[in-house]
Amino acid sequence: MIHIIGGGLAGSEAAWQAAEHGADVTIHEMRPVRPTAVHQTDGLAELVCSNSFRADKVDNAVGLIKEEMRRLGSLVMRCADATRVPAGAALAVDRHAFSRAVSEAVQGHPRIRVSREEITSVPKPEDGWSPVIIATGPLTSDALSKDIQAMVGEEHLSFYDAISPIVLAESLDMSKVFRASRWGRSLRSAAPVAPVEPVEPDEGDYLNCPMTKDEYDAFYAALAAAESATVHDFDKARFFEGCLPIEVMAHRGEGTLRFGPMKPVGLVDPRTGRTPYAVVQLRQDTLAGDHFSLVGFQTQIKWGDQARVLKMIPGLENAEFIRFGMVHRNTYICGPHVLLPTWQTRARADLFFAGQVSGVEGYVESAASGLIAGRNAAALARGEAPQAPPRTTAIGALAYYVSHADPKNYQPTNITHGIMPPLEEIPRDKMKKKLMIAERALADLDLWLGAVAVGGRRL
């Protein structure tokens, strides 16, 4: 019996993979017996912030890892594809429908049992639990965090990052907002495996709030002066660079936001025929299209001040906030000290980490690590050797980074081309290069799957 602690993105995917590969599985999920500071339901694989799984084309590393996961039979990808909402070239989902789909699949699997309980210490083989996958996420409960810390030593770190607000669609002033996808790339052109071709501009999937220079300057000044919520341990707070709060970006300089989440490139306001000075983009958050999130607008500004400042955005003057932005804890181990590329711990072959707590960053990356950990735990349970996918695949490169990066100042990572090995011959054309990386990855993944199938039972 494989025991998986945590029924989030990583834990649910790991359970599905292990069960589909012949193992009996128990997921130990503490919600609703013990809630977290951020989850709002007792559903498995709840998306706690954005509803986006990011880019969905193979010219992008996160699009590539998704395609690899589909080829590996990922439950998370199957449910995400089934519940997608319009989001340009990205894969975004209706969060409730998505979590429901994962929960129903996992709970309905004859080999999986879900036990609602908090696990407070790292289970030992002599307790009769082996193999074990720890997939308790960035909000791992305190008791278990302490025990993990005792096990891994000082490498067990924690830091903070912040989430974006969501507004009610009907409260937006649509006379000021225009609908468009950046560069005209919309859901229609987002077929997962097709190479990227230029597409005709169409109505677009995002709502865009355009700003003039004066409006931007006034917004920037208000943001820089806004009062931040006090976070426990704030002095020690370290934010993931890809998820910086807007006010932290604002403090870096007047132009930082305009070259970051408020960049206007690729967007033309149909009423002026010009690219605005700055833009705030809103992305559909539910299938019904009644909620929109502010893209890249994670923040820790106090809620009163937050409403006041955000209502300065054209179109949001009377916005009703479904959820304000906030700060959260993030707990993760130092992967290079603790893990092998199979997601097993170096110290104990039958113990795995997966998901955000293992030192990856992001929904997709968490599920991807769970996918391999689940397959490998099933292999171990059958008496076979766990395998790591080739480094030339995105899913293999992620495992390699987590287990081999420089442990000093280790930072969790999203999947990027930068952590994949370079091509032997690099073409000058950037798009060609990205597509060749994808071709190599998918070919090597297929070869690996074939070899694993010949070497033993198909992993």
Ligand X SMILES: Cc1cc2nc3c(=O)[nH]c(=O)nc-3n(C[C@H](O)[C@H](O)[C@H](O)COP(=O)(O)OP(=O)(O)OC[C@H]3O[C@@H](n4cnc5c(N)ncnc54)[C@H](O)[C@@H]3O)c2cc1C
291 binds ligand X (CB under 6 A): no
Q: How far is the CB of 352 from ligand X (least distance, A)?
A: 13
Q: How far is the CB of 183 from ligand X (least distance, A)?
A: 22
Nearest CB to ligand X, comparing residues 141 and 186: 141
31 binds ligand X (CB under 6 A): yes
Span near ligand X by CB under 6 A; candidates 16-24, 130-138, 224-232, 247-255: 130-138
Nearest CB to ligand X, comparing residues 145 and 392: 145
Q: How far is the CB of 284 from ligand X (least distance, A)?
A: 15
Span near ligand X by CB under 6 A; candidates 22-30, 63-71, 148-156, 169-177: 22-30
Q: How far is the CB of 247 from ligand X (least distance, A)?
A: 17
Q: Which member of 103, 356, 392, 393 binds ligand X (CB under 6 A)?
A: 356
What would the two tokens of residue 437 be? Answer: 């990386």
366 binds ligand X (CB under 6 A): yes
76 binds ligand X (CB under 6 A): no
d(CA 388, CA 383): 16
63 binds ligand X (CB under 6 A): no
341 binds ligand X (CB under 6 A): no
Question: What track of x and - describes contact with ligand X for positions 380 through 409 (by CB under 6 A)?
Answer: ------------------------------
Span near ligand X by CB under 6 A; candidates 18-26, 47-55, 224-232, 281-289: 47-55
Nearest CB to ligand X, comparing residues 9 and 180: 9
130 binds ligand X (CB under 6 A): no
Task: Output the residue with the shortest Cβ distance to ligand X.
Answer: 8
Q: Of 155-174, which residues contact ligand X (CB under 6 A)?
A: 163
Q: How far is the CB of 135 from ligand X (least distance, A)?
A: 5
What would the two tokens of residue 101 be? Answer: 């789909």
**Footprint of ligand X on this chain (CB under 6 A)?**
5-11, 28-31, 36, 38-39, 48-50, 118-119, 135-141, 144, 163, 328, 355-357, 362-363, 366
